Amino acid sequence: MKRSRPGILSVRTVNQYRRRDVLTYLGLRYYLENTAARTDQWAREVATHLVMTRSDPPYFRALHFKESTQEGQIEYRPIFLPGANEALAEAALLDECAKHRAFVNPDCVFSYHLCCGQDRNGVYQPYFGGLQRRHQAIAEACDRYPGGQVLYIDIKRFYPSIPVKLAIDAWRKHAESADFSAKWRDLGEHLIQQHAKVAERDGKGILTGPMFSHLIGNLLLRELDEECSKALPARYFRYVDDITLVGDADAVDRSLTIIRARLSDLGLELHDGGSPKTIRVPAQEWLKGRNDFHESRRAISWMTFIGDFKKFLLQNSAEHGNLHEAFRNDGFRIPVRDYTGAIHEASYLERMHHWAEKPWFRRKIQAVTIDSLMNQARFLRKIYEVEFQELIDGTGRMDQFNRKRRIPKLRYRAARLIYLATDETLRSLSPIASELPELHFHAEVMSAVATGNIDQLLSMGTNAAQAAAQPLRAAEKPATTCVQDFSKATEQALAVFMLNGVPVEHPKSAVGKYSELLQFATIGTDADLMKHGHPFIRELACLHGLTEKPRHPRMLETVFDEDEALAMDAIEQLQQSVSA
């Protein structure tokens, strides 16, 4: 029987949450094993109905690494992960929003633009395109004010500080403008109220984690964005909670005063002038970095490598085992996911026509082979290693702005070297990277991947664990830890390694009675987990079902659909840690 392709909404949801956290992704994969649930109609009708009629909101509070203090204490960003059913309903709601101009961002806003039409890449457009467009807009403003200033300012604790009443008011206003039916209006309001129920912070608290939160953040600031883009003395640009002003010094100062007052009316607050997130630089100085976001012009880049990599897997799906072995034998830790079951049953010409629409597939090169991929990986390994060494030299002595320019370039190369560099190279680069606080996360992941020792990494939470677990699994390397004191963060991180199928040698007595998440990671599901009091764990366990052993590692090594992105967790999670 011919197998039909999954609906657009299910693929979007899988792609979006694959980049965010492994738990919601796994829940979605188990949920979508029911072929009926893969249809857009299911997301629009059944998933939304189940969200509206449920009794308890199923959010899991995952601890993500945020930063390490000067005293060595780790600060976490709580990420509230929705259950699989809500993630699908959320995608349906956001798709409905994407059809109406009321939900289109103003030109001055560069974050979280909704996907629409046949786009399966995710619920939102990729973040990097927005960063590039913002950078170009700032450059054009600097050209207009060559004697002016650029000021970066940041809103404190943006999502958790949003007043629930104002969030509901903003939603109602825009839903009414779009002439939404009662179904969609009520669903959006219900989700906000569910966020508030979980947050319980003095009438504040839109959760960080659900994709719907990003839309609400943009709607809450819509009037501010429109007012500031038209009436401020300085030019105004926003990316999530990061605001940039460009203009003459006096105009920037007056604009800052106006923005502080308007944010205060919304219950929000900017970081003060002494914060490292507040940076002021002359426009002419800023323009030295106008090309910082230009794509590499090299014939071989990370983008071309990943495009050829996916092209090979789609055209030669049965060869994924041989490619994995070739990578591993040469010291690479590149996860080779299995597309065998995801390529829909169509003729060869139909598949070629579909893939030919993708930019990564259209690149005109000779046939991609295992040898050609190996050569590209070796080239990138060498060039990124040299560039990382050159870039990090002297960075610690730079002024605030030039350091801000340099750090993203170092992070970019460090994240890719986690997949490409040899163990010996990573062991040598990790202590060098650790000298910069901005690279603490990267340095610890480098060390854990190179040595297999995860003592330091476990305390850093689930995003750090996932960043290291995927390359360790690809290298077929076990992990070890001597940690005796297991906190909530270390238990969650340990579970992530086990979910990925990474063997972890640890003192059994130190863990004590396994938490429900560790139980799910190690045994899959039992009757108790399927009746667990926590709605997220209960839903996840029921979706997994009773099996002899957990199915998580296999699920993470296969893809749901041929349009599912090749997620590189060290890159995605390291990016999330600095931009969420």
- Rounded to an integer, the average pLDDT of 510-536 is 85
- Bridge partners of 77? 64
* Angle formed at CA 393 by CA 388 and CA 398, multiple of 5 degrees: 115
What's the pLDDT band for 294 if we cut at 50, 70, 90? confident
Question: pLDDT tens digits for 249-288?
Answer: 999 999 999 999 999 999 999 998 888 889 999 999 999 9
What count of Cα atoms within 13 Å lies in the side-chain half-sphere of residue 251?
17
Residue 347 has pLDDT above 50, yes or no: no
Residue 365 has pLDDT above 80, yes or no: no
- Rounded to an integer, the average pLDDT of 506-513 is 61
Residue 353 has pLDDT above 60, yes or no: no
Alpha-carbon distance of 93 to 219, in angstroms, equals: 15
SS3 265: helix
Task: Give the DSSP per-residue string, 280-346.
Answer: EEEHHHHGGGTTTTPPP-SSS-HHHHHHHHHHHHHH-GGGHHHHHHHHHHTT------B-TTTS-S-
pLDDT, position 86: 97
- Rounded to an integer, the average pLDDT of 61-68 is 92
Strand 242-247 relative to strand 74-82, pairing: unpaired
Among candidates 413, 495, 492, which has minimal Cα distance to 74?
492
Question: pLDDT tens digits for 217-250?
Answer: 999 999 999 999 999 999 999 999 999 999 999 9
pLDDT, position 367: 86
Alpha-carbon distance of 380 to 300, in angstroms, equals: 8
pLDDT, position 361: 55
Among candidates 274, 267, 270, which has minimal Cα distance to 256?
270
pLDDT, position 580: 44
Question: Whole-model pTM?
Answer: 0.92
What's the pLDDT band for 350 if we cut at 50, 70, 90? low
SS3 247: strand
Among candidates 544, 414, 553, which has minimal Cα distance to 497?
553
Least confident residue range of 112-121, 202-211, 421-430: 202-211
- Rounded to an integer, the average pLDDT of 540-568 is 93
What's the pLDDT band for 57 if we cut at 50, 70, 90? confident
Alpha-carbon distance of 458 to 484, in angstroms, equals: 11
Domain 123-179+188-294 has CATH 1.10.1670: no
What are the C-alpha distances in Å from 477 to residues 24, 93, 302, 492, 505? 25, 42, 24, 20, 11
- Rounded to an integer, the average pLDDT of 54-62 is 90
Question: pLDDT tens digits for 27-50?
Answer: 999 999 999 999 999 999 999 999
Task: Give the DSSP per-residue string, 130-158.
Answer: HHHHHHHHHHHHHHH-TTSEEEEEEBTTH
pLDDT, position 68: 84
pLDDT, position 344: 55
Element (H, E) at 80: strand 74-82
Provide the mean pLDDT of the chain: 91
Question: pLDDT tens digits for 318-328?
Answer: 999 999 999 99
Least confident residue range of 145-159, 360-374, 426-440, 447-461: 360-374
Share of the chain above pLDDT 70, in %: 92
Residue 1 has pLDDT above 50, yes or no: no
Least confident residue range of 114-123, 528-537, 571-580: 571-580
SS3 363: coil
